[in-house]
Amino acid sequence: MGSPITLQHPTSGSRIKVTTFEQALYLLERKWPNNDFNRANAVSVISSALDCIGSIIGARHAFITAARTAGYNDEQDLRILPPAAPAAFARSAD
């Protein structure tokens, strides 16, 4: 997942520190305040990353997007990382 993401609940102000994709998935599936496209997309993208068929950066981005649309905020921790370079560019030439 990279660096932890700290979410501040939109109404109570309580903070949740998310350190793993498993924890993010649990929150999205069982504790999330809304059920919209971004939440469903984050569940799908994170599940793919956990199955090693999806992008970790994409999963982090999807989770942050879902958090923002659910009203969570924390300016410092909700940074969206730049997209990763395509695999073909990331490999060194043989």
pLDDT digit string (tens) for 40-74?
A: 999 999 999 999 999 999 999 999 999 989 988 76
Q: pTM score, two decimals? A: 0.76
Pick from 43, 11, 15, 38: nearest CA to 27: 43
State the Cα torsion 69-10-79-29 to the nearest 10°.
-60
Which one of 5-19, 52-66, 74-88 scores highest in mean pLDDT?
52-66
As a whole number of angstroms, the distance between CA 8 and CA 72 comes to: 5
What is the pLDDT, as a whole number, of residue 33?
A: 86
